[in-house]
């Protein structure tokens, strides 16, 4: 894609903050024991989104939620198609047995990243429950995987892409169609 491609704002900074606030309220409502919750970010933007959600959950509930990282790269069934990138170290800070895991990713598309992340997670143990939060669901699923928490559904064509931008890394905030 050329740099001249028009960016479409799906969520501006204010709308993104409102969406994050809504998602954290939904998490608090759905998860009865926040002490038993582990947020697990999927690289790359899922990690940063998990940190944002963790801060917002603490602000709303007073509970310091545990946070981790799972890199599903080696569990993918489509590595030859998507290629590889720099591997992020998986960091699961506590034993996951009996925990409720909230996998966090910026965008869900085919569902293959999430499937790989679940496989990677189960190599660490068997959690009580696994849920999924995504900022954007863009459709085109190839697997029967659907988020429990979704910021926004945005139908896209296969040649479009969606990006979540966060101030702490991108110096801008919002969700964009490119």
Residue 54 C-beta-side C-alpha neighbours within 13 Å: 21
Band of residue 4 on the pLDDT scale cut at 50, 70, 90: low
Inside any domain, residue 167 = no
Inside any domain, residue 92 = yes
Inside any domain, residue 45 = yes
Q: What is the CATH number of the domain that holds 53?
A: 3.40.50.2020
Inside any domain, residue 178 = no
Inside any domain, residue 134 = yes
In this prediction, residue 74 carries a pLDDT of 85
In this prediction, residue 2 carries a pLDDT of 44
In whole angstroms, how far apart are CA 17 and each of 3, 13, 20, 30, 116? 27, 6, 5, 20, 29
Inside any domain, residue 149 = yes
Write the pLDDT tens digit of every residue in 125-135: 999 999 999 99
| Mean pLDDT along residues 12-34 | 97
Residues spanned by the domain of 110: 15-76+84-155
Inside any domain, residue 120 = yes
pLDDT over 50 (residue 1): no
Inside any domain, residue 175 = no
Write the pLDDT tens digit of every residue in 49-70: 999 999 999 999 999 999 999 9
Report the number of distinct structural domains present in the chain. 1
Burial of 80 (0-12, 13-18, 19+ CB in 10 A): exposed
């Amino acid at each position: 894609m050329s740099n001249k491609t028009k960016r479409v704002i799906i969520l501006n900074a204010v709308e993104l903050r409102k969406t994050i606030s809504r998602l954290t309220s939904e998490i608090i409502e759905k998860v009865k024991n926040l002490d038993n919750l582990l947020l697990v970010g999927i690289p790359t933007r899922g990690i940063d989104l998990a940190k944002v959600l963790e801060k917002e959950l603490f602000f709303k509930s007073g509970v310091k939620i545990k946070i981790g990282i799972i890199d599903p790269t080696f569990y993918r069934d489509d590595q030859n198609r998507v290629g590889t990138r720099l591997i992020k170290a998986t960091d699961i800070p506590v034993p996951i047995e009996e925990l409720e895991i909230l996998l966090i990713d910026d965008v869900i598309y085919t569902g293959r990243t999430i499937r790989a992340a679940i496989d990677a997670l189960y190599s660490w143990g068997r959690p009580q429950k696994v849920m999924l939060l995504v900022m954007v669901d863009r459709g085109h699923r190839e697997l029967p995987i659907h988020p429990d928490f979704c910021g926004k559904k945005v139908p896209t064509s296969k040649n479009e892409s969606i990006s979540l931008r966060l101030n702490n890394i991108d110096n801008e905030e919002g969700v964009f169609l490119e």
